[in-house]
Amino acid sequence: MQDLWRLPANDIAALVRSKKISAQEAASAALTRLAAVNPKINAVVEHRPAEVLAQAAAIDAAIARGEDPGPLAGVPVTVKVNIDQEGFATTNGLKLQRELVAKANNPVIDNLRKAGAVILGRTNCPAFSYRWFTTNLIHGDTKNPRDPGITPGGSSGGAGAAVAAGIGHIAHGTDIAGSIRYPAYACGVHGLRPTIGRIAAFNAALPERPIGPQITAVSGPLARTIGDLRIALAAMSGYDSRDPWWVPAPLQGPAMPKRAALCVNPDGLDPVAEVRAAVADAGKRLERAGWVVEEVETPPLREAAELQTKLWLGDGYEAQLATAEREGDPGALACLRGNRSKVFPFDVDTLSKVLTRRATLTRQWLQFLEKYAVLVMPVSGELPFPDQLDMQDDASFARVWHAQLTQIAIPFMGLPGLTVSTGLVGRVPVGVQVVSGRYREDLCLAAGEAIEAGGTPSAAIDPAG
């Protein structure tokens, strides 16, 4: 069977479970694809083919014994280089962490393996996972397979580039300010930022994280179909006692009327015409699928984005800056120095005020999302940026941060957000963001499937020259 790497994860798992193909055949196809296209895009920065094939052989052996291999039976999946995988360095894009070899797996890895997935390789991110661009001093630049002149997104840029180029069927990413949703947008695939507490995560190789990342950073999947995001979410969301924030919420919540809020220009974002058109088109697709769509103003986003930036970068700012200076990564330093006036100083009184305001804003959003099953709005105010735009000058840096308003804001309330790729402008991807109430990823995915079905499906591509 040719081009197994093109198939959705759902199809691969069904073929492996029915013994029409072996997990080793699926793994071999993925490794062949990786070898063919990764040199052009540098999405995967470490992989060990013998270990990949050994994982697949173990799945085939389990099937031969009559055991259930799991919902991701034999599906090749990539994981981001900022989570622990036993025997691999958790670099997070840092030379400083090249020797930080994990002695145990992050719960994400364990849950993927329990579901039958084969971990294909580790994907690139910017230093410290700070930026919406993906380059660092240890692993180098990741290129967008659709157009090397535009960013692959960040911080899960390797994940987005890999899944767009057919390197694996599902990619793991992390998101504290858009790091799943933006690479999906930039690479023309789909990406789900789950609710905080949905997917257990913990890196034993690293110090405990400050409270801001604890309550706003999540792991989640990127894929070429919404259906694959659905099975990836189910696989990744298993219980693990190492994450005290994990919540045993059902994957399917109570039925809600198919009522969507639509906001083309949230809180003064002022998107470009192509982004406005994509949001309006997504609304029309939902209407054709039987949804009632109402154009609205959202609860506060700009204030949430400002407070999220403060909580993310302000807590321990001086220590972060000192580490970034030791690393010497220009992008990381630009991110921290460019935001200094917004986030520093950060003291106990500031933290108390931020967390107090978080309760108020979260309540407003939860009440809004009682009325509407989902909100559809831009992922970014612009089409995917020219690569490294944030490094050009102060005006470009400010432009980037302004455009990412909606991505930065949603994590502050702990809400789920889904990027749905809706098409191309030339060869530059565009899409929309779907937001719902806490632990209602099912509503995001239902709306996402309706939007996806109304357009041209995303498919694996050969990297552009």
End-to-end CA distance of the chain: 28
Identify the burial level of 424 via C-beta atoms within 10 angstroms of its C-beta, where 0-12 means exposed, 13-18 middle and 19 or more buried: middle
Would you name the residues annotated as active-site residues? Answer: 80, 155, 179
CA distance 107 to 20: 30
Q: How wide is the angle at C-alpha 422 spanned by C-alphas 457 and 269, nearest 5°? A: 165
CB 112 within 8 A of CB 67: no
Identify the burial level of 178 via C-beta atoms within 10 angstroms of its C-beta, where 0-12 means exposed, 13-18 middle and 19 or more buried: buried
CA distance 48 to 450: 38
For the chain, counts of helices (H) and of strands (E): 17, 11
- Give the number of C-alpha atoms closer than 13 A to the C-alpha of residue 364, restricted to the C-beta side: 13
User: Cβ of 225: how many Cβ atoms within 10 Å?
Assistant: 22
Sign (positive/negative) of CA torsion 237, 241, 243, 246?
positive
Residues 6 or more apart whose CB falls under 8 angstroms from that of 207 comprise none
